[in-house]
Amino acid sequence: MRVGLTGAGGHLGGVITEEARARGHTVVRMDIPRVYSECDTEALAGLVRANPCDALVHCAAARNPRTRQELYLNAQLPHTLSRAYHSIHADRTFIHVSSINVLVRGLTDRYTESKRRAERALDDRASIIVRPSLIWSAQERGAAGRLRDFLLRMPVSCMVFPGNRHLPVLDSAVAAQIVTLAETASPSRVVNVIGDTAVTLWQLGKHVAASHDRRLIPVPIPFRSRRLPKLLRHTDYTNFDEAWVPRANDQVVLPFTLNGPPPT
């Protein structure tokens, strides 16, 4: 099977590549044009023709979208790419990797809003939308690596206590779910992928600091305010807005532990 993949150079894209290849599939890396005017349906259809694949996973995204191109990549490109792909392969699977952030009330940052716009545009049931919660890496890639770099800047680190509350999922487990969806030619639907254990940002930071023999000092923030910098807020990423459309058809709950991958 040939699995097309955008965002192959990112954290999740790299893990999806590893998982797909481990199952004997060929990963077709599809690089999205960096010029806004080259991202229309016709241009993307040419990209699809040049890179034939049995399923396409759209994983590319800007973590902090600011430019017009980055906002387009997050908010509009998923629909345009899906339309281009299905114009050539009408009966094949297109998977868009969104974020569980879209279900968290009070989140109005550019990343979350751009992901919400993408889901609204894709709400024609022609594609599969996968919403993973915080993706955690035992190898300290992605979010775990960024947290490590923050904590290792100084010999003694300070961190908000208790910080945001998440339902983390291991990157390998999320990749396995996505590859399985691609393999089974699943019907179009929305799938939430969350962990089974609620963990605070402080707990994640303490785990990373301990693994590098670093001391971590808690900084209590006794009040809540949207005016606080994002890193100082106590956002609950486990409290979902069930009224959000498109509604999830399935919710996959995966085992999570900070002590390493769950037993197989």
Per-residue model confidence (pLDDT) at position 105: 87
For position 72, which CATH number holds?
3.40.50.720
Percent of the residues in the chain that have a pLDDT greater than 90, as a whole number: 72
Query: What does each C-alpha distance from 225 to 20, 106, 133, 148, 231 come to in angstroms?
Result: 43, 11, 23, 26, 12
Domain that holds residue 250: 2-136+169-195+240-254
- pLDDT band, residue 220 (cuts 50/70/90): confident
In a domain, 231, yes or no: no
Q: Are the C-beta atoms of residues 81 and 87 closer than 8 Å to each other?
A: no
Residue carrying structure tokens 């254990």: 197
Cis check for the bond before 246: say yes or no (omega within 30 of 0): yes
Question: Tens digit of pLDDT for each residue in 102-144?
Answer: 999 889 999 999 999 999 999 666 899 999 999 999 999 999 9
| Number of separate domains in the chain | 1
As a whole number, the mean pLDDT across the chain is: 90
In a domain, 76, yes or no: yes
- Mean pLDDT of the region 15-31: 97
In a domain, 211, yes or no: no
In a domain, 183, yes or no: yes
What pTM, to 2 d.p., does this model score? 0.92
